[in-house]
Structures are given as structure tokens and as C-alpha cells.
Structure 1
Amino acid sequence: MQKKRWQRVDGVLLLDKPQGLSSNTALQQARRLFSAAKAGHTGTLDPMATGLLPLCFGEATKFSADLLDADKTYEAEVCFGVTTDTGDAEGEIRERRPVTAVPADLLALVPRFTGPITQVPPMYSALKRDGKPLYELARQGVEVERQPRQITIHALDVLDTACDEAGHLVRARLAVSCSKGTYIRVLAEDIGAALGCGAHLTALRRTRVGTLTLDGAATLAQLDGLDEAARAACLAPVDALLSTLPRVDVTPAQHGPLSHGNPVPREAAGDIGKVRIYANGVLLGMGEQGSDGWLRPKRMVQAAEGNA
């Protein structure tokens, strides 16, 4: 068997992850399609979830952690009257309860679950206790106390509902825009508890991470059907991860010191904070400009051969 030849690939892939695949498995499959020597993702999606999974190749991996703090948007489907041990459809059923709530009751709850709220992280999560992931303890039947965390639901919209013949809620589809650290499974459970009937998550699709959206995202199947040139054209540039930062263009004389990790003074003074730095239209990396007017490099991009 011929050994795989890895190559330098720089850029961001907006992957539309399929259901049933872990984020790491999706990453490794995409990495092999591009023969990328270095790759990473920007935060995981549960295997049950589909949708936007930004993948970083090469120099883009230096900025992947920034998307971990980004706001995210999801479309979620919730089933009422049934709870599971995982909070989603992959778990074992815990309880079935009658549902008397109607769509108006769900709409009335929206303000209660919008804005800063607290969540108790689920046992089936990657959070660790004494170095062991909580999901491992959960599989052993062990439940430990978890401290509530504050998160922010920026927007919660009821897209549509399904009811039984009596008009009681059966399912609902929600759009959720939220801060980092939000568990949509827990949100579904908490809404079900507030309605007095319980609920669990049956489907989840991520549509946005920061400023990145599903527009232009590709599936693994689509990528597999492309030739190398067409596949490469699916990659967004490295600075797609830095688009929210102010742009600073530096002179050729400043390029050298910055690339060696040294700060440079700028005529345009002011405490700008984090910035993306360019020279001759080419991204140099990310830096920070303080109130003293000095621009300090933080994470710099290694130039590809021929672009040095």
C-alpha cells in the first residue's frame, strides 16, 4: 500500500457535518481528502448533530481557538412528554408524561429563556471531574454534582410546532442564537421541565459560528467527488477566521521586525486592541495595539514558499 503523502495546505473549510459522525472523524476524513499535513477543528458537534463545522488547515490552526469563544446559532427539534438520560434521542427513555401545554404556553416561555440564564452542564458531556470526562462517569451510572454556569441566549424563536388532536404540543422546532458553553440539550430539557411535561432533543443543526455560516459549506460526499483543483477552491483564506478584527496595514520596514516577534511603533495611535496585520495585501498574522501606539505581534503566519 502506497504511503499517504501529506502536504502543506492553508485555509478554512466550512464543512456541513453529517449526522452520526464525530467531529474528529469528520476532521480526519476531510484532512485525507486534502492531504493536509496539519488540521484542527474549532469546537465539536455531537455525533447526532449536523451542520457547520469549520475546519482549519495549516496556518489557520493558529487561530482556531478564537472560534471557541464565538457565538453560535442552531436549529433544534424538541419532543415533548418524553425525557432521556442523555437529554437527546440517543439516550435511554427515563420517563413519559402527559402533555397539556399548547403552543401559546411555549411562546410565553421565550422571554424566560432569553438573555443571561444559568445551565447545569449535563452528565453526558466532555467536562472533566478529577481528570475523568463526565460522560465516562455517566456510563458507569455515577452522577456527580455540577455547578450551574451562566450562558446567554441572544435569541430564541419558535419556528413551528406540531400538536396532537387535542392541540397539545408534540414537537417544536426552535432557532437558538447563544454564547459559548450553551448546551442545547439542556435548554430543551429545561423548557420541557418548565412546561411540566419534560422534553428531549431529537435533532440539532448548527447554522452559524461567529461570522461563518452554512452558505458555501460543503459535505464530505461533495468534496470526495471533486478533483484536487476544485476541492482547493472550496477553502476560504486563513483570514476568514479574523474578519471581525480591525485591519492594520504595515510598511515593508515594519514587516521584518513583526515577523521576528518584535513590536513596532505606528503613527496611528490609540488603544485598538486585537487586530489583523497585513503587508502588501498579505496576511501576516494577529497582533495587538495598545494605547502607547505600539503594535505587538501575537500569532504570526508562516509565509508559504515563494511568498516570503
Structure 2
Amino acid sequence: MNGFLNLHKPSGWTSHDCVAKVRRLLKIKKVGHGGTLDPAAVGVLPLAVGRATRLLSYLPGDKAYRATIQFGRKTSTDDLEGSVLQEAAADRLQLTQIEAVIPQFIGAIQQVPPIYSAVQVQGKRLYDLARQGATAETTEIPVRTVTVHSLDVVSWQPGTYPELTLQIACGAGTYIRSIARDLGDQVGTGATLARLVRTQSSGFRLDQSLTLEAIEAQLAEGVLSLIAPGEALQTLPSLTLAADASRRWCLGQKIVTVTTLPIQQPLRILDSTGRFLGIGELNRVEQQLVLSPRRVFATAS
């Protein structure tokens, strides 16, 4: 059993909880996930099964979220799971004030991850430091450059603690909790993330995702089908090899070839029938293009 699952992660489960559950359901140890989701968040969690775990790093990194941000509160975790650090009615806040600062959060931006995150500082995870009493004010958290492709208003709910729902498309490594916190700082009320749904991740979409219950039911009926690696990696450029070259490449041999494809980038390698063989990379060696195996998935035939 080798391939990918598009899991709809439930609220209250960690990403590791989901991996452990699927391991038990499939009775297989090799299960991994692509892109951690916070326990309170729901939505797309890509899972790799069997030898497909070796391909997780080649999935596209872009993600999309539907995020609801509550203004007037700041918390220790930058979401409603944490303790309240600051609280004041924000009923005078207008949507137009927020829309005026939204452009500052689009493009390549500088972002400080939440103190409760998996980012490492001096060899320790930030969430471990936070559990030992560290705070965002007492810890030197490294600033990171992340990319936000778009940030669109979905709805606005006025009130004592008004809520804004946004649709966000971003690159890998972007913390939506940080966007919520920083947006609140920009308008002067403070803010925290109230709800988060990941609608897309690594090419997998929410409307095609399966709940844990659906996976269990399909297994019982014998109809569960994993997403083929070649399909999951379709965003990568592909290179097709003839029969003899396919056999040699699957044995780990380098292949001299002629192509206009980019060098030093991952390529999806296929045989003449379209079968996915693995991930390769082109390099120029003494005026020749040489295709080297990076992840051989298929067996030689």
C-alpha cells in the first residue's frame, strides 16, 4: 500500500494523532503527514502511506486557509486556545480600517512565529520553551520571510469583539496565527485567531478530503483507494524515458539525455507507458546533461 490520502483533520486532534490513527486503520507503520495543523484547526492534512513517505518533501508547498480573526483580545498562543493577555472592547472598529492595512500583509513579508510553535531556537522547539515559562517578550524569536499570495475578505461580524473571516493563499511556513496577531496590532485593538480551516494544501483540496470515519468505512467496504504518487506530484515537470533507460534508472544508474527541462530541480520521471518511476534531477557534466535518481519509487522491469 503506497500513495497519499487527503485527510479532513478533525478539531481537537494533533497531526500526530491523525497519523497514529491511520497507521492503526491501515495496519502499516509507514505513514507521515505534510504540513502540521494546530489541534484546534480543521481541514486538509496530506498523508503519505508506505514508500510515498519518501516523496512528501516534493509536494507543492502552497496552502490556502479560511481564517476567522477576533479583534479586541490578545492571547498567549495567538489563538483562543491560550490565556487572555489583553482584552478591551473593539466595537468601534470598522472594516474599512482593516482593509486599509491588509495590503501590508500581501507578498513577501516578515513574520515572527508564535511562541507556541515548532520553530527551533537554540536547538529547542518554541512550544517547549513556552511550557517552561518563556514568553514572546522574553524570547528572541527569529523573524522569517514568508509569502502571502492573496488575502480576501469573506465576511465581517461587528460586535464587542468583532470577527473578520479571510480567505488566505500563502506559501509554506506561513503562520496564520501570526497574521491574526499582527493585523490586530496594526489596527490598535489586538487580535487573535478564532477559527481556522485549511482549504488546500500541497495540491489537495478540502472538497475532496476524507474524514477518518469515511476512511474507516471505505476500508471496511474494501473500496479505499490511495492517490497515486504520480498524480499527487503533477505540478513537477516530467521527463519520459525509453524502456532501457527506465530499467537502468530504476537500478540507480545515471542517464545521459537531451532535454530542455531545467537543471538542478526535481523532475517527475515516467516510463514510456506513463508509469511513475520516481524523482530525478538533471545536472550538466562535461557538456552533457545527466539525469540522476533522487527518489526511485518503481522497481526495474
TM-score (norm 1): 0.89
279, 282, 292: which is aligned to 1:286?
279
- Deviation per CA, 1:84-114: give whole Å up to 9, x if none: 1110010011111232320111111221111
Measure the CA separation in 2 of the matches of 1:24 and 1:95.
Answer: 31
Aligned to 2:42: 50
Question: Within the alignment, does 1:12 sit opposite 2:8 as a pair?
Answer: no
Amino acid of the structure 2 residue aligned with 1:245: L
Measure the CA separation in 1 of the matches of 2:215 and 2:256.
Answer: 45
Offset at 1:33? 1.5
What does residue range 1-308 of structure 1 map to in structure 2 within 5 Å?
9-67=1-59, 70-99=61-90, 100-143=92-135, 144-164=139-159, 170-228=162-220, 230-233=222-225, 235-268=226-259, 271-272=262-263, 273-279=265-271, 280-291=273-284, 292-303=288-299, 308=301
Measure the CA separation in 2 of the matches of 1:200 and 1:31.
Answer: 34
Offset at 1:36? 2.4
Measure the CA separation in 2 of the matches of 1:195 and 1:23.
Answer: 33
The secondary structure found in structure 2 opposite 1:32 is helix
Amino acid of the structure 2 residue aligned with 1:275: L
**Cα–Cα, structure 1 residues 277 and 229, in superposed 2: closer, same or farther, change >3 Å?**
farther
Measure the CA separation in 2 of the matches of 1:88 and 1:30.
Answer: 27
Q: State whether residues 73 and 190 of structure 2, in contact with CA within 8 Å, keep that contact through their aligned partners in structure 1.
A: yes
Q: State whether residues 12 and 240 of structure 1, in contact with CA within 8 Å, keep that contact through their aligned partners in structure 2.
A: no
Measure the CA separation in 2 of the matches of 1:162 and 1:270.
Answer: 49
- Deviation per CA, 1:109-147: give whole Å up to 9, x if none: 221111111111221111223332211221222231112
Measure the CA separation in 1 of the matches of 2:51 and 2:229.
Answer: 7
Root mean square deviation, CA, Å:
1.9
Q: State whether residues 283 and 301 of structure 1, in contact with CA within 8 Å, keep that contact through their aligned partners in structure 2.
A: yes
More displaced stretch, 86-95 vs 260-269: 260-269
- Deviation per CA, 1:252-273: give whole Å up to 9, x if none: 1112221122111224355454
Q: State whether residues 67 and 193 of structure 2, in contact with CA within 8 Å, keep that contact through their aligned partners in structure 1.
A: yes
Q: State whether residues 74 and 181 of structure 2, in contact with CA within 8 Å, keep that contact through their aligned partners in structure 1.
A: yes
Q: State whether residues 46 and 202 of structure 2, in contact with CA within 8 Å, keep that contact through their aligned partners in structure 1.
A: no
More displaced stretch, 279-288 vs 28-37: 28-37
Q: State whether residues 101 and 169 of structure 1, in contact with CA within 8 Å, keep that contact through their aligned partners in structure 2.
A: no
The secondary structure found in structure 1 opposite 2:35 is coil
Gaps of 5+ in 2: none
Offset at 1:229? 5.5
Aligned residues between the structures: 292
**Cα–Cα, structure 1 residues 139 and 262, in superposed 2: closer, same or farther, change >3 Å?**
same
Measure the CA separation in 1 of the matches of 2:3 and 2:101.
Answer: 42
**Cα–Cα, structure 1 residues 250 and 122, in superposed 2: closer, same or farther, change >3 Å?**
same
**Cα–Cα, structure 1 residues 275 and 139, in superposed 2: closer, same or farther, change >3 Å?**
same
- Deviation per CA, 1:239-295: give whole Å up to 9, x if none: 233211122111111122211221112243554542111123221101012353322
TM-score (norm 2): 0.91
Q: State whether residues 65 and 167 of structure 2, in contact with CA within 8 Å, keep that contact through their aligned partners in structure 1.
A: yes
The secondary structure found in structure 2 opposite 1:191 is helix
Offset at 1:152? 1.2
Calculate percent identity across the aligned residue pairs.
Answer: 36
Gaps of 5+ in 1: 1-8
Measure the CA separation in 1 of the matches of 2:262 and 2:128.
Answer: 46
